[in-house]
Amino acid sequence: MQFIKLSGLVAWCTLALTACQSTSTPTDQPQTTAMVDSVEYFTDTGLSNPVATLQHPAGEYANGITYVTYQGPLEDAYVAAYNHNTKQWLGPIKAGTSAMGKDPTRKIDNHGKPALIIDDLGYIHIAFGGHGGTPEMGDNDLGNYNYGKLKHIVSKRPYDITEWQELNNVSPFGTYNQWVKTSNGDLYLFYRHGAHQSHWVYQKSTDHGRTFGERVSVMKHQKRDDGLGVDSWYGYFSEEANDTIALGYIYHRCGNNHPNGKHLGERTNGYYMQMDTNTGQWSNVQGEPIATPVTRDIANEKTLVLKTDHTDDWTGISTVHLDENGYPHIRFARGHHKNRHQGGPKKAHYYRWDGEQWLVSKTGQLPISNGDHVVHYPLKTSTLLASRAKDKSHMISWRHSVDGGKTFKKGDVVLANKTFGVQVSSFIRNAHPDALMLVSEKIDNSHLRKMYLVGQHGPVMRAKSEAHQASDEMKQRYLITK
């Protein structure tokens, strides 16, 4: 097995090309999963939408241990750790208390999912709990209000998940929290500064997260000149090589018929730009400087990857990574908006910049699904995606391309036969091949979810007697009744 470190992820691929194009379901599980009286999940206490690709990373691998975080009961932040050497789990442990999730008459919000990163001193940082904040928290000069409070917590000791402290050093109005760490150890926390009609910003720390600088706006919200709503955005910020932060993003036209903006589902177009962290300068894929915060006009003129034909043709955000030439690879989902009510857009395409133009995969090569991808080489890439089978069961499986994303072939299934649907995180930061992605599975008639840590050969197993179980009180609280 050859391991290649690409963009903070320990990527993997056998030297034999045929292995990368395997279409089998693995039958010889690694020793870590061959436990007697064991289960595939490590807890059943995930809540509603415990993980997502957008709030990332959901975990990090360091010193033989994979640390993960997810939204648990009462929408609080939970953390667990798996020791790859001893094959033992620790936790889950409640790490932080959310301002949301305590009112049983209110729907589960789900925007406060946690994201985790480890600083260069070994302290573990989690950002969680926000969906725009409330007026009682002060003036949100970069957006509007909604609910919750963005919090930043840090472990009291390096590489230790048992005790945590809250640091009041980031804006309370954030949501869609995303961590990035650059080669010099600087931490960036990206987030949307409020509800839908808000700037996207970052705050930067040069002292291992103990203090953060002022908010820096990246994408700008503003009323449209035609009166048809407000320019808004969804973005995925990715840590890449050569002190570059890559951004794949889509446009969201937010309605203006409500004080906080009617939540229209319309999301169109696809965009890309990147930041040189040494200078703070953003540029487009051609290297032309981009003034920030980017507006719709600038985005359309300078950073457009795909333009949807009309507003009925909606897009979905995905992950973005760079190849060894520094060229971006992005997945965008798209389709008629009516399909949103039957699971969303019905097409997904893989876009790759070849130095002169954007190349796009053939239709039907990738499913509409969440997940992540790793770029081994410019022409060689692999995706690990959640998808739905013909029998309506759900699975997580590989798809591999050796022609730069033009076509993909199905690979191994790493988690299958999940009847009630699954949700997945982006790749774990610096991932160990046995623990690549955090996965939640819906449980019938309940808002609680089973949680899995999935690697290239399948889920990391846990002794059934040790797997963390929700209390009877929690099960009753989150029971779905018709």
Query: How would you classify the pairing of strands 435-442 and 448-455?
Result: antiparallel
CA pair distance 75, 77, nearest whole angstrom: 7
Choose among 324, 344, 413: nearest CA to 27.
413
Residue 201: Cβ-neighbour burial (10 angstroms; 0-12, 13-18, 19+): buried
Q: Which two tokens stand for residue 252?
A: 């969201």
Q: Which of 176, 191, 236, 272 is catalytic?
A: 176
Beta bridge partners of 450: 441
Q: How is residue 260 annotated by DSSP?
A: T
CA pair distance 27, 456, nearest whole angstrom: 12
Task: Compute, in degrees rounded to 10, the torsion defined by CA atoms 48, 53, 57, 63.
Answer: 90
Q: Which of 56, 61, 78, 111 is catalytic?
A: 111
CA pair distance 13, 48, nearest whole angstrom: 34
Residue 19: φ, ψ to 5°: -65, -35
Q: Which two tokens stand for residue 357?
A: 């133009």
Choose among 469, 479, 474: nearest CA to 42.
469
Q: Is 176 a catalytic residue?
A: yes
Residue 101 and residue 74 in contact, taking contact as beta carbons nearer than 8 Å: yes
Q: Prior bond to 57 cis, omega within 30? A: yes
Q: CA distances (Å), 297 to each of 222, 272, 303, in order?
A: 11, 14, 10
**Exposure b/e, 21-43, CB count within 10 A at least 16 = b:** bbeeeeeeeeebbeeeebbbbbb
CA pair distance 265, 352, nearest whole angstrom: 27
Residue 404 and residue 327 in contact, taking contact as beta carbons nearer than 8 Å: no
Residue 330 and residue 306 in contact, taking contact as beta carbons nearer than 8 Å: no
Residue 311: φ, ψ to 5°: -70, -10
> Any idea which residues carry the catalytic annotation?
111, 176
